[in-house]
Chains A and B, each alone.
Chain A
């Protein structure tokens, strides 16, 4: 067998059923084998960045390892953003890039780049294969590393002579041998006991969970723990859907654009139990202001996260599912208490609100509210990045994990559409909805064609305010409304120092996204006023294939609540 055949065989043995990618010179030997492969589906995207985000969306929505196959040089470098996105959100993908022949490495050959050096800091681990005999071991290791412990992306660079190289007596290894990599699964029993005791003594305990609970598939255990102890819970962007949006103990997403109840609970609790989270700055605000009088417990599979940002009293390293099961055994039942009443009161007193524009124009929050009425309750929502992402996080009605996918750590614009494509291929019986802004949708707009041609039925909602909304919001609130280069329709005819849109703004919505959708082989619908929203949603969601629904929303709507950067969670801005 040659390297290309071994590669495909290895992928098959790792349970791969879909590969996302784009060919090129040095990967033709691999594509030659793929030509006759029937049991692994290959999705040809229109940009390697799209392929990487698609593999990522596939991974996040299925829990399996996403696979991306690209060529050397520019093909490989086009995956950098996608790999970094997956790294920041601990998403398991394997990115296989072609490379020039081993003898030509280092000579600045055609389409040569040092992918091994480039990806070092943005992946969990990487490989440059120098000999075809190492290929089987490396494939097995790559998948093992990607999916175990704290999941993450693995990059494999495959020179063309390795793909063409022949291996006699090929066997796929039975086991991995990684003396330096032994993820801890079971937590320390004494620490778990300590946590159970702390829970028994706490007056105001609070659960704070995130992406790690989703990776660990521990949503059920969280629900069981809450059932037994009635501890209220806040869930980060990466964990939304761990508990249903309407669960009585769910206080909402915490942090910069989180719910007031969630942030108040973070400030007032006396025991903070972080599970599968990393105490990111979007949640904590300045570190010296966070959890000052609280006992902090931190359960995480990655020991380097514990104590990284916040001093921790009860650290427990291990897999969330294992640890939660042990904790549920040890912990004593707790009835609802005055703390529950207090947190529920906050929920009622501080609901999400927005100012309804009286003139019939469209509030973006309204679009999401109406989407909730028409979308499938089992739908997967994939967001892009920015204000659209925050409104989706606040208003969508998530009920299960792996139903809300978002680029949280890196905040990559252009993630939404290709990731939704990947999620759709991984979940063919599930409605997949992409929520994006007009800025983000343009960043990987070429994937509209991929959706149409391959009949991937993604339902795309574009909240169009013709602005780079989130940046404009910051300029609005903190930079004296100096809207520097955020207006996506600013023309040379505009006044030189614009501080906001007016009725007589020159220029129009460019591009015409409905026409772009049609040019790419799918239908496009547009709502320009509140009255049109429902029918656009109904028509769009009823389409069998992919569809783009555009909503002209209020140009200068801001996301609230907001805790601005550098401010503690006690200083919440509620509205304009």
Chain B
């Protein structure tokens, strides 16, 4: 059964490391939905977030293969873990006219989307949120007419967790 999994790969910030990760996944024929990589607060460390749509067995192999890379410090499949803050970002360009503009702006308000540009026949919005929130927003604004959108793919951070002894530890 194929499922979407979000995987965070913490790697050494070496030249070409993002190409390595993407290359490894494509070489093995895995289905990558999105990849987002950027440096972190530590200049030696780079984090890559992947959303992969694959079977359980393939996910296990993906995690193992990623771990095997010399540059990989840690791989975490956060898909079923509750203690992660997961976000995605989107920019959308929507058709709008004088008649439906008010309705659209109500939705924008409810979803806490942010208008960046407003024109007589279209509006450009940005929004951050969970994948579910973004998916839902897209569903709701589709009737207006989506001209274009660009999504970042998910990225995540571990929340604080308290262990049984009351110690604070990071999940990731």
Contacts and interface: CB of A to CB of B under 8 A. Distances in A.
Contacts of A178: 70
B20 A120 contact: yes
Interface string A176-204: 00111100000000000000000000000
Given A303-B64, A304-B61, A307-B60, A124 B16 contact: no
Interface centre among A117, A121, A180, A303 (most CB of B within 10 A): A180
B19 interface: yes
Interface residues of A, number: 18
A308 B60 CA distance: 9
A180 B12 contact: yes
A117 B19 CA distance: 9
11 contacts: A116-B16, A117-B16, A121-B24, A145-B70, A178-B70, A180-B11, A180-B71, A303-B64, A304-B65, A304-B67, A307-B60
A245 B51 CA distance: 50
Nearest to A305: B64
A303 B23 CA distance: 20
A179 B12 contact: yes
Contacts of B23: 120-121
Interface residues of B, number: 20
B69 interface: yes
A84 to B, nearest CB: 12
Interface string A75-116: 000000000000000000000000000000000000000001
Interface of B: 11-12, 15-16, 19-20, 23-24, 27, 60-61, 64-65, 67-73
A133 B64 CA distance: 33
Contacts of B15: 128, 130
A302 B61 CA distance: 12
Nearest to B20: A120
A124 B132 CA distance: 38
A303 B61 CA distance: 10
Interface in A300-316: 302-304, 307-308
A120 B19 contact: yes
A362 B82 CA distance: 70
A145 B60 CA distance: 24
Contacts of A130: 15
Given A120-B19, A180-B12, A125 B61 contact: no
Contact of A180 (B24, B60, B72): B72
Nearest to A154: B70
A465 B67 CA distance: 46
B16 A181 contact: no
Interface centre among A128, A303, A304, A307 (most CB of B within 10 A): A304
Nearest to B11: A180
Interface centre among B12, B69, B70 (most CB of A within 10 A): B70
